[in-house]
Structure 1
Amino acid sequence: MTMPVIELRGVSRRYDDGPPALREASLTVRPGEAVAILGPSGSGKSTLLNLIAGLDRPDTGTVTVDGVRVDQLGEAGSARYRRSKIGMVFQFFNLLDDLTVTDNVVLPARLAGMARGEADRRAAELLEALGIDRHARAYPGRLSGGERQRVAVARALMNRPALLLADEPTGALDTAAGQDVSRLLTALNSEGQTIVMVTHDLALARSCTNRTVRIADGRITEDIPSQAVAPQAVASEAAR
């Protein structure tokens, strides 16, 4: 059987003297799945995402992503892991306004040591594949919300990550732009990209994921796969 992209076993996390943010959570995500993490504010969704991203460590349990024991990494190792294994898309884009679209997209590759020429070629492929190559020399402030989120997705895919993490990716967008990003995520998953998305939006979860995990009070209360999981197809060269 194919090795899971994500494997959490008995993961718990408590902050200060409050109740556990996450309680004995176990979760397995396999290549080609698109998983929506649903739950009210304070349920543990963000904690789960941060543990997978190596931005936080569990008090108990293990976190393994693409063969890496993330819970055992130090600060430098966590940074290398995020550059090589995952791409992250945020609600508010997190683009650098004083850099052009291309410079925003190539940044992760440059930090990982990729030569500028190779990085520029990779960025150009991604921008073309995502339909925003005409904005390559523009600055993010000149783009619409949907276009900025596409730039953020291109940046997240720059280093060909095993896993794409999306934190409320349509939360700052209007309905039309949100539907555009939903279609983009669906297309990426159909090409084989593994996606884990935190969202409050049930319609978004239904439209572009094939599995729903619900969290309440730090516990995984429901894990519902669809009948058809996205195939583990090899992604197109531009989107891998």
Structure 2
Amino acid sequence: MIDVVDVSRRYEGDRAALDHLSLQVAEGECLALLGPSGSGKSTLLNLIAGLDRPTEGSVTVGGTRVDRLGEAAAARYRRATIGLVFQFFNLLDDLTVTDNVLLPAQIAGRPAAGSRRRAHELLETLGIDRHAGAYPGRLSGGERQRVAVARALMNRPPLLLADEPTGALDTASGAEVRKLLIDLHADGQTIVLVTHDEVLAEAVATRTVRLVDGQVAVG
């Protein structure tokens, strides 16, 4: 599904965030990217999501050359292909849980009735349907991350990208999200996970890759 070939990403005046890195991810795989801060994990995730472009090399996802997409085409690619989950949820506090989950469908111009059914199904599946009319500020960290995952899955993306999804959570909430990711992968969801959490990586991932100084660590 993902083919990253000889990719480098350099920023003016800085060392390379990624340095001639190659990586492949198969459909249905759950890959955990581990490494210290500054190792290039989040940069790689941004390149796969089409939020950034490599200085050199190519990034192909599901047959699409992501590194060649213009801004509008990259936005369409993300709507169709990518679900994004962030460390700090990125929910809109003035919208209810249901309305947060509906946002990707609204942006994609999908029919309202079908989208509401899909949102309800997701909230029910993730065990937070009782909070459908609540606002995010009234939820626990684990519940907010479940809302963020529901939003990410709204348009049925083939690829879920999660950047430190348990990083802002307490131990109990982190365990909830860990179980959720395990269940999603068991249902066939392809996942690329950036984390510092060795327990999360060991529990969820089918393969772990460590990055050091923008390269895949060997040994």
Tell me the CA shift for residue 96 of structure 1.
Answer: 0.2
Residue of structure 2 aligned with 1:172, choices 158, 168, 171: 168
Residue aligning to 1:114: 110
Report percent identity of matched pairs.
68
Q: Which amino acid aligns with 2:40?
A: G
Q: Secondary structure at the match of 1:197?
A: strand
Residue of structure 1 aligned with 2:134, choices 131, 134, 138: 138
Q: Which amino acid aligns with 1:8?
A: V
Residue of structure 1 aligned with 2:48, choices 38, 43, 52: 52
Residue aligning to 1:195: 191
| TM-score normalised by length of structure 1 | 0.90
Q: Is the 8 A contact 1:35 1:197 kept in 2?
A: yes
| CA distance in 2: counterparts of 1:19 and 1:177, whole angstroms | 36
Residues 48-127 of structure 1 mapped to structure 2, 5 A cutoff? 48-127=44-123
Q: Does 1:216 align with 2:212?
A: yes
Structure 2 unmatched runs, 5+? none
Structure 1 unmatched runs, 5+? 224-240
Q: Deviations along 1:120-154, whole A, 9 cap, x unmatched?
A: 01000100000001111111011100000000000
Q: Is the 8 A contact 1:215 1:222 kept in 2?
A: no
| CA distance in 1: counterparts of 2:147 and 2:42, whole angstroms | 23
Tell me the CA shift for residue 115 of structure 1.
Answer: 1.1
Q: Secondary structure at the match of 2:91?
A: coil
| CA distance in 2: counterparts of 1:147 and 1:66, whole angstroms | 31
Q: Does 1:149 align with 2:145?
A: yes
Tell me the CA shift for residue 39 of structure 1.
Answer: 0.5
Residue aligning to 1:207: 203
Paired residues, number: 219
| CA distance in 1: counterparts of 2:126 and 2:159, whole angstroms | 18
Tell me the CA shift for residue 118 of structure 1.
Answer: 1.0
Q: Which amino acid aligns with 1:154?
A: A
Tell me the CA shift for residue 222 of structure 1.
Answer: 4.2
| CA distance in 2: counterparts of 1:68 and 1:114, whole angstroms | 23
| CA distance in 1: counterparts of 2:71 and 2:87, whole angstroms | 24
| CA distance in 2: counterparts of 1:161 and 1:222, whole angstroms | 32
Tell me the CA shift for residue 116 of structure 1.
Answer: 1.1
Q: Secondary structure at the match of 2:58?
A: strand
Residue aligning to 2:10: 14
| CA distance in 2: counterparts of 1:18 and 1:85, whole angstroms | 31
